[in-house]
Amino acid sequence: MRIPFRLLDVFTPRPLAGNQLCVIPERVELETETMQALAREIGFSETTFVNEAGGDRYAMRIFTPGSEIPFAGHPTLGTAFVLVAEGRITSPATQVVAAGEFRVEVDLDERTAWMTQLPAVFGEPLVDRALLADAAGVEPAGLHPDLPSRPVSTGLPFVIVPVRDLDTLRSAGRHGPLVADVCRSTGSEGLYLFAVTEEGITARMFDREEGIGEDPATGSAAGPLAAYLAEHELAGMPDGRVLVRQGEQVDRPSELHVEVGREAGSWRPRVGGGVHVVGGGEFVL
């Protein structure tokens, strides 16, 4: 069996930066265990498998090296970009994944894509700041003194962690077992640390999985962050658009653009960025 795939860099204005993605754009009859094994084989933070595509809709599954997840950011943008570029769907389109339906817009000329995420759901602020600080590798005083750390989901939950300043953010270090403990206790996928800067926001994502560790660009966390910024009126939100920089510490500089609207009493974010197809091939099984 031959299984064609595409390789992409997402959330970057240029190739060979941002977050790497593997897309299997054609429906292939595979067992879940085989999909998981292929995601582990390629070793990127996510690999997507398109189940169906046509008109202005498509459906897919998303796998990290360790598990299947119901939604993710750069897989959404990258998969939509491939399908539009190859004429399999039109833009705007509706993406169907386990977490629900998401509107995606692709601009092939600009090499960009945008997704509208689900309305934000806020969890309770974390009480154990000492555990959170240890998990993030910072002193408790390095957590922002006036802003709460709390889970937020716009399709996938992350603990949004405001830190005191950019120096604190850069000096942070992921303590895997403790990150996993915090994530289990909050039902979250990872910790999304951020600091407000003069240019917007700088962020880092510490994942619960050892296979990912620190993610270079996390659109599914940037959406919750946008809602958090709007809720606390930070970085000029909810008005306008904010640039989130991520990936500096893992040598994959990334740029995520975020904005929010108000819908049904909640914040609904849009997240976008650059997308580049950088290669392709096929698995032979």
Enzyme catalytic residues = 46
**Spatial contact of 138 and 131, defined as CB atoms under 8 Å apart:** no
DSSP label of 163 = B
Of residues 88, 79, 33, 37, the one with CA closest to residue 60: 79
Of residues 190, 251, 279, 271, the one with CA closest to residue 18: 251
Cβ neighbours, 10 Å, residue 149? 25
Cβ neighbours, 10 Å, residue 198? 5
Cβ neighbours, 10 Å, residue 20? 22
Sequence-ordered list of residues with C-beta below 8 angstroms from that of 73, at least 6 positions apart, any chain: 11, 115, 217, 218, 219, 220, 221, 222, 223, 256, 271
φ/ψ (deg, to 5) at 165 = -160, 180
